[in-house]
């Protein structure tokens, strides 16, 4: 367990939760992380599986 929590740690924790909770990647990228390019967010979060991408698309347009 971490002894000291920083604002950066809190931000990454909330981004991780949001990305696993079907929050669209564009929202995570632009609103939570304030990245200007989606590719930056993709590098930070790692590769997105096809199943996860389809789940986000279904939630957006389903």
27-50 per-position pLDDT tens digit: 888 888 888 888 888 787 776 666
Domain ranges, ordered by start, for the chain: 7-61
Query: What is the secondary structure of 1-62 as a DSSP string?
Result: --SS--HHHHHHHHHHHHHHTT--HHHIIIIIS--SSHHHHHHHH-PPPHHHHHHHHHHHH-
Spatial separation of the C-alpha atoms in residues 1 and 35, rounded to whole Å: 29
For residue 23, pLDDT over 80 is answered with yes
- Give the pTM: 0.52
Tokens of residue 20, six digits: 């696993």
pLDDT (0 to 100) of residue 7: 80
How high does pLDDT run on average in the chain?
Answer: 76
pLDDT (0 to 100) of residue 30: 84
> What is the percentage of the chain residues whose pLDDT exceeds 70?
76
Neighbouring residues of 60: CB distance < 8 A, sequence distance ≥ 6: 24
């Amino acid at each position: 367990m971490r002894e000291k929590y920083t604002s950066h740690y809190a931000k990454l924790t909330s981004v991780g939760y949001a990305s696993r909770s079907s929050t669209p990647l564009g929202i995570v990228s632009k609103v939570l992380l304030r990245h200007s390019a989606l590719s930056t967010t993709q590098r930070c979060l790692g590769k997105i599986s096809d199943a996860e991408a389809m789940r986000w698309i279904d939630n957006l347009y389903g």
